Amino acid sequence: MFKPNQWPAPAKLNLFLHITGRLPNGYHSLQTNFQFLDYGDSLAFDTNSSNNVSVSPEVEGVTLEDNLIYRAAMMLKPYTKEPVGADITLTKILPMGAGLGGGSSDAATTLAALNHLWNINLPTDKLAELGLALGADVPIFVKGVAAFAEGVGEELTPISPPEPWYLVIWPGVSVCTKTIFNLPQLPRNTPKITLADLDKATLKNDCQEVTKNRHPEVASALDWLIQYAPAKMTGTGSCVFGEFSSRADATVALEKLPPNMHGFVAKGVNISPLISTLSARR
């Protein structure tokens, strides 16, 4: 149970990820299904009238001005009607470079929470627009509804996939998204599909093979997990996930996890815990 000043920043999974082209600006066009997990980071917001924003703990090697949480908070400053500030404390449990969207989710939770706590009351679409400047995945976390995504990931159509239990494995490595998307061998010409064709299409993660080739730990995690459930990688990695019909079945597999891997069991949810928290506090 979250304390009154705490807000969830849930993980996401890419249930598939197709790269359909490369844009002139270097970004890639893609298609994916986003679903949330009932598991993730949390942020505590202690608001004040000091006009200052602090974020703790510090992230090694990242200045305050480059911290996505700080940047999200400062994006809202022009919309405030009086001096406001916040001391923000992050409880981080999602690994970085894992394909779970942790940094984007933290930024989105900051936008949503401070929009509410500072009484700014911008509409969700405006928050998503602001969030896109922080990262392509931020809008999905702001909107908080499972979605079929196109464009660079910001064109979102709500969907309602099944909500199974997942075993998510982190193989102990961080994957740089920019590096994966710049690899010449990355597939970039997967034919586009329509939402109506999703159920009969062969869905995969176009980043999976190139990530496996660069990071054998990811390949090992997939090889292990596929013994227990259909398994694939989320995002550009490094986390992989398997789908189970019950928490008990997923937990049985988790208990057999090799000691060099880390894992957790979580439920797929189509309404983000952030949205549920926001609705409860309005």
Q: What is the spatial distance between Cα 102 and Cα 104, in angstroms, rounded to a whole number?
A: 6
DSSP of 216-232: HHHHHHHHHHTTTS-EE
Q: Is 12 a catalytic site residue?
A: yes
Q: Is 3 a catalytic site residue?
A: no
Half-sphere exposure of 37 (CA within 13 A, CB side): 26
Q: 12, 143, 212, 232: which one is catalytic?
A: 12
Distances (CA, A) of 136 to 26, 163, 277, 281: 13, 24, 23, 27
- In Å, the largest CA–CA distance within the chain is 57
Q: Which residues contact 4 (CB under 8 A, 6 or more apart)?
A: none
Q: 41, 106, 137, 249: which one is catalytic?
A: 137
* Residue 161, preceding peptide bond in cis (omega within 30° of 0): no
Please check whether residue 205 is in contact with residue 16, taking contact to mean a CB–CB distance below 8 angstroms: yes
Tokens of 226: 């596929």
Determine which helix (DSSP H) or strand (DSSP E) holds 119, and give its type and residue range: none
Could you list the active site residues? 12, 137
